Every structure is written in structure tokens, then in C-alpha cells.
Amino acid sequence: MLLIKSLSIALAALLLTACNGSEQPRAAEIVAPAETTAVFGDLRVHYNALPTLSLNDAVAREYSVEKDAGTAMLVIALRQFANNEEIPAEGEVSATAYDLQGARQQIAFKAVKTGDYTDHIGIFDIHPRDSYRFEVTLKANGRSEVVKFQRNF
């Protein structure tokens, strides 16, 4: 019994040493925020994807979005840049989301008026701890543009 107890203590000490190793503490690295704007001449595209559970109740009501652990919201805002300010821009939006396994989801959008602006809102299914790539096609001002980005959930 004494031998088992001694071995257990020795093993615990060895495991604690292995966890610590000889690595010294490091300063935290600053990670740049993810890009959320694309510029195509005078057209600016603001975009983001976030879990619907992260929305506060007022925003969820304004966008008519049901908060659910298994869904996320893709927001696309088209803006025209003129006279050093952003003004509303009209256009069409379509998007596809791809998860890590390559599964593809077409995202249907609805236009939501917020003040003078119109945002394009699309809801899609997500899985915890998954990463999604987005390919967003925009048609505005007589041209078509593509925005690609990735988000982790």
C-alpha cells in the first residue's frame, strides 16, 4: 500500500512537471479584428455573421429574427460613398455558406429597413465550434461584386 501511495505521488509530481514544462509565460498577442468592410470604388459593403443568440432583444425584434442556438445571422449592408459620407445604396444580395466538411447552404435574404438604410438579413444553420466560409454576391450600381470571408462560431 505504501508503495502504491509513493508511486501515485511520484506520478502526480511528474504530470504536474510535464504540464508546466520549461516554457516561460508569454505576453498576449494582439489579434487584429476580422475584416467587416469591402470597398468597390464608391460602393461600400459592410458584412458580418453572428449567432442569433448574441442579438439583444430589441435588435432581434427589429430584424424579425428568432434567437436560436442553432442559427446565425448574416448581415449585408450596401452603402454608397459620396461627399465623404455613406448614403443608402440599393442592390441585390445572395450568399452561400460552407462549413468545414464542405456542406453548402444557400442563404435567403430579406431586406430590412433601418432608418434611412436597408440591411439584407439572412439566417442559416450553425453547429457549435464550427467555422464557416461565406461567398456573397452583390449586384449594385450596374455591377456585380463578390465578397469572401470566414467566421468561427
Q: What pLDDT is recorded for position 104?
A: 97
Polymer length of the chain: 153
Q: Which residue has the higher pLDDT, 32 or 105?
A: 105
Burial class (CB in 10 A: 0-12, 13-18, 19+), 73: buried
CATH of 34-152, one of 2.60.40.3340, 2.30.30.140, 2.102.10.10, 1.10.3720.10: 2.60.40.3340
Q: Has residue 115 got a pLDDT over 90?
A: no
Helix (H) or strand (E) holding 97: strand 92-98
Q: What pLDDT is recorded for position 7?
A: 38
Q: How far apart are CA 47 and CA 57, in angstroms?
A: 21
Q: Has residue 17 got a pLDDT over 80?
A: no
Mean pLDDT of 109-129: 93
Is 130 in contact with 100 (CB distance < 8 Å)?
A: yes
pLDDT in tens, 33-65: 677 999 999 999 999 999 999 999 999 999 999
pTM: 0.76
Mean of pLDDT over the chain = 85
Sign (positive/negative) of CA torsion 92, 88, 140, 32? negative
